[in-house]
Amino acid sequence: MPTKPAPATDLVPDAAPDAAEKRSTVRALLRLWPYVRPVRARLGTAAVIAILASCVGLVIPLVLKWMVDGPVADGDPAGVWLGALYLLLLGLAEALLFGVRRWLVARPLAGVEAGMRADLYRRLQRLPVAFHDRWASGQLLSRGTTDLMLLRMFLAFPLTFLLVNGVTILVGVGIMLVQDWTLGLVILGPAIPVMITCGIFEKKYSAVARRAQDQVGDLTTVVEESVLGIRIVKGFGRHRSQARAFHELSHTLRGTELRKARLLAAIWAVIVTLPEVAIGAALVVGAVQVADGALSAGTLVAFLSTALALRWPVESIGFLLAMSQEAATATDRYFEVMDAEVEADPAAGGRAAGAMGVPPLERSRERGRVDDGGTSQAVRAPGEAPSSEQRPLPEVSANAGRPQGLRFEHVRFRYPDAAPDSTPLLTDVDLHIRPGESMALVGATGSGKTTLTALVPRLHEVTEGRITLDGEDITALSREELRSMVAVAFEEPTLFSATVGENVLMGAGEGADDEALDRALAVAQADFAHALPQGTGTQVGEQGLSLSGGQRQRLALARAVVGRPRFLVLDDPLSALDVHTEAAVEAALRQVLADTTALIVAHRPSTVLLADRVALLSEGRIAAVGTHHELLRTSPEYAHLMSGSDGHEGDEGPQEGDGR
């Protein structure tokens, strides 16, 4: 667990420090249009109503002019009361119109936010494992929460009022120029300095806003890791170092937020001070004109009232620009994930449900369910070259109708983010597991055993070569079809915040019943689930941490076998079990392995003896294949690995199950 926080750019892959300076705010915000388009009518209506409300407010100074030059000058009390009634009605109308605007935008924008969040979740499910290996979970979480909240706030207020305030300022300035053009020019004096200040502010605030939002993601990551790793933190007494890491990130974020506040204070000082000075100058000039008889008192009152009515639209420019910059940054961060290349699946035969640029509100009828990890073809922009993963379908073997088991043919693998000239982790793997046969995969730590098993369900894509199931290339199958044939269990089991039964039945198809659940629990020696407070309906808690490591591993094994898969891939599934439980699981598992084709990563002889044959993975290749005792006699490396796994077992290992 880190004791020193990483900078934001380390937790955001390919983050460019000067990205905020290079991108256009307007271009970034325009990417929201596909999501806003379904609700554009309501947003447009709300904007028109807001403009009407602002214009109603500008009528009030004209009523004041009529009152001062008319009833007040003539000493007509009835006229004064009539003018007061007009002012009251205008104020009520303005308030009512703004209320209607708020009502119009609340529901549709909540739907836009929900739709964007659902799209982000779907995209995360379809992105390859390599993407999730690179990205910090806190960064992804902040994009689905904080950033989308900023976007909803922008669509609800700044987007409308940048337009409304602009129209209000133009109309108000026009009214002032019509009343007295000399006073109007005095008021317009600060316009150029204000625009220059806004341009400088926009550039600086954009960079700081991006930094702050990335730092929020970093802080979220630290909090998440500290909570999930609380046993390690407490067990090693690292609470002070974790608190220090949190404090440093919090202090850094605080400094960035203060920098934002200073920038906002600076532009507000300019935007507020210059118009106030202009209004003061207009008051002096107007008073002189009234004294000389060149201007009526009512006109001066109306002029100054209009200028004061424009104070809010002008002063709000600062924070409206700030919110727009934060929204543009949030948009960039959101589409950093949405633009990531999803797992290509040519065999799926359809366009990706999460196609970019198609808002959720318009495609809800076409896509009524969440994608299950990438079962659709990746969508490409017009003219874009096909992905390197979208290779043509291979020819199916002529005898593909007969079961041929699991075969690796000249498989090479290099991680996507590895240098192109680096040595592949797997260089030339050739291995054939016959139908109904179980093969143990043995190798030194770091030899690529887990990676090799991850290639079968296409958690990673092979770099070269191919893998076939019963003679058919796995890339010719859709991921949905492939993963219905192949079940997996990993050494580090993952359980979800759900019941025991729900966790296990995730590995079964539709219509799985309690009988299948009980059978799988029996095979995995996980009958302890029935003794839990609510039996198999007991909630296991986040990541299953309320259970022991051995219990979690047995439930993961039960999940792998519950669907009676044709192919089974087990990555050292018994490593957390005690000797007696392991023996019981192995005895039950032999019955399952008799009916399936299995690849089992093993480190201990007891696990190796579950298999019919053993394959030794060394230096990226299959160095030897044979039974356990054959390899003990013929392969010094294998004998060394087995003796290292068990301090006293060597050539005279157990005979039970040898070769089955």
Is residue 263 within 8 Å of residue 204, measured between CB atoms?
Answer: yes
Decide if 231 is inside a domain. Answer: yes
Is residue 543 within 8 Å of residue 228, measured between CB atoms?
Answer: yes
Tokens, residue 422: 């680096």
Statement to judge: residues 462 and 611 lie in one domain: yes
How far apart are alpha carbons 186 and 174 in whole angstroms?
A: 13
Per-residue pLDDT for 560 more than 80?
Answer: yes
Decide if 628 is inside a domain. Answer: yes
Reported confidence tier of residue 511, pLDDT bands at 50, 70, 90: low
Is residue 413 within 8 Å of residue 462, measured between CB atoms?
Answer: yes
Q: Which amino acid is at 504?
A: V
Statement to judge: residues 420 and 324 lie in one domain: no
Statement to judge: residues 416 and 332 lie in one domain: no
In the block, which residue shows the tokens 């500008």? 58
Residues 6+ apart with CB under 8 A from 605: 628, 642, 645, 646, 649, 653, 654
Decide if 214 is inside a domain. Answer: yes
**For position 614, what pLDDT does the model report?**
92
Which of 332-336, 399-403, 562-566 has the weakest average pLDDT?
399-403
**For position 346, what pLDDT does the model report?**
56
Higher-pLDDT residue of 478 and 18 is 478
Higher-pLDDT residue of 331 and 72 is 331
Decide if 189 is inside a domain. Answer: yes
Per-residue pLDDT for 434 more than 70?
Answer: yes
Q: Looking at 278, 307, 338, which one is the last position of a domain?
A: 338
How far apart are alpha carbons 660 and 652 in whole angstroms?
A: 17
How far apart are alpha carbons 505 and 169 in whole angstroms?
A: 63
**For position 231, what pLDDT does the model report?**
65
Helices 549-561 and 514-523 pack at an angle, to 10 degrees, of 130
Q: Read out DSSP for 375-416? A: -SBPP--TTPPPPTT-PPPPPPPTTTTS---EEEEEEEE--T
Which of 32-41, 290-299, 518-527, 651-660 has the weakest average pLDDT?
651-660
Q: What is the pLDDT of residues 359-374, one digit of tens each?
A: 443 433 343 333 333 3
Per-residue pLDDT for 649 more than 50?
Answer: no
**For position 653, what pLDDT does the model report?**
39
Reported confidence tier of residue 409, pLDDT bands at 50, 70, 90: very high
Dihedral sign computed on CA atoms, order 403, 405, 411, 414: positive
Average pLDDT on 437-466 reads 88
Decide if 533 is inside a domain. Answer: no
Which of 121-125, 221-225, 368-372, 610-614 has the weakest average pLDDT?
368-372
Q: What is the pLDDT of residues 132-168, one digit of tens each?
A: 878 888 888 888 888 898 888 888 888 888 888 888 8
Stated pTM of the model? 0.68
Per-residue pLDDT for 351 more than 80?
Answer: no
Statement to judge: residues 334 and 414 lie in one domain: no
Is residue 309 within 8 Å of residue 60, measured between CB atoms?
Answer: yes
**For position 555, what pLDDT does the model report?**
86
Q: Which amino acid is at 264?
A: L
Tokens, residue 342: 């999803």
How far apart are alpha carbons 330 and 320 in whole angstroms?
A: 15
Tally of domains within the chain: 2
Which of 127-131, 256-260, 383-387, 579-583 has the weakest average pLDDT?
383-387
Mean pLDDT of the chain: 77
Reported confidence tier of residue 398, pLDDT bands at 50, 70, 90: very low
Highest mean pLDDT among 310-319, 412-421, 623-632, 646-655: 623-632
Q: Which amino acid is at 138?
A: G
Decide if 363 is inside a domain. Answer: no
Which of 288-297, 557-566, 646-655 has the weakest average pLDDT?
646-655
Reported confidence tier of residue 650, pLDDT bands at 50, 70, 90: very low
Classify strands 486-489 and 567-571 as parallel, antiparallel or unpaired.
parallel
Statement to judge: residues 450 and 318 lie in one domain: no
Q: What is the DSSP letter of 577?
A: S
In the block, which residue shows the tokens 């990746």? 378
Per-residue pLDDT for 408 more than 90?
Answer: yes
Q: Looking at 294, 314, 338, which one is the last position of a domain?
A: 338
Statement to judge: residues 153 and 248 lie in one domain: yes
Average pLDDT on 419-433 reads 87
Per-residue pLDDT for 580 more than 80?
Answer: no
How far apart are alpha carbons 88 and 83 in whole angstroms?
A: 9
Decide if 582 is inside a domain. Answer: yes
Nearest 10 degrees: CA dihedral of 84, 86, 88, 94? -150
Reported confidence tier of residue 535, pLDDT bands at 50, 70, 90: confident
Nearest 10 degrees: CA dihedral of 64, 65, 67, 73? 140
Average pLDDT on 384-413 reads 57
**For position 221, what pLDDT does the model report?**
81
Is residue 327 within 8 Å of residue 29, measured between CB atoms?
Answer: yes
Statement to judge: residues 298 and 430 lie in one domain: no
Statement to judge: residues 331 and 456 lie in one domain: no
**For position 163, what pLDDT does the model report?**
83
CATH of the domain at 427: 3.40.50.300
Q: What is the pLDDT of residues 91-118, one digit of tens each?
A: 898 889 888 888 888 788 888 888 899 9
Q: What is the pLDDT of residues 234-278, one digit of tens each?
A: 776 777 877 888 888 888 888 888 988 888 888 878 888 888 888
Q: Looking at 278, 303, 338, which one is the last position of a domain?
A: 338
Classify strands 464-469 and 472-473 as parallel, antiparallel or unpaired.
antiparallel
Higher-pLDDT residue of 464 and 360 is 464
- How many residues would you count in the chain? 660
Which has the closest alpha carbon to 371: 391, 389, 392, 345? 345
Statement to judge: residues 299 and 413 lie in one domain: no
**For position 383, what pLDDT does the model report?**
35
Is residue 573 within 8 Å of residue 610, measured between CB atoms?
Answer: no
Reported confidence tier of residue 16, pLDDT bands at 50, 70, 90: very low
Per-residue pLDDT for 651 more than 60?
Answer: no
Is residue 585 within 8 Å of residue 524, measured between CB atoms?
Answer: yes
Domain that holds residue 623: 406-494+566-645
Average pLDDT on 641-659 reads 47
Decide if 592 is inside a domain. Answer: yes
Statement to judge: residues 314 and 452 lie in one domain: no
Statement to judge: residues 295 and 418 lie in one domain: no
Residue 435 C-alpha from the chain's centroid? 41
CATH of the domain at 38: 1.20.1560.10
Which helix (DSSP H) or strand (DSSP E) does residue 601 occupy? strand 597-601
Statement to judge: residues 306 and 422 lie in one domain: no
**For position 13, what pLDDT does the model report?**
58
How far apart are alpha carbons 289 and 69 in whole angstroms?
A: 15
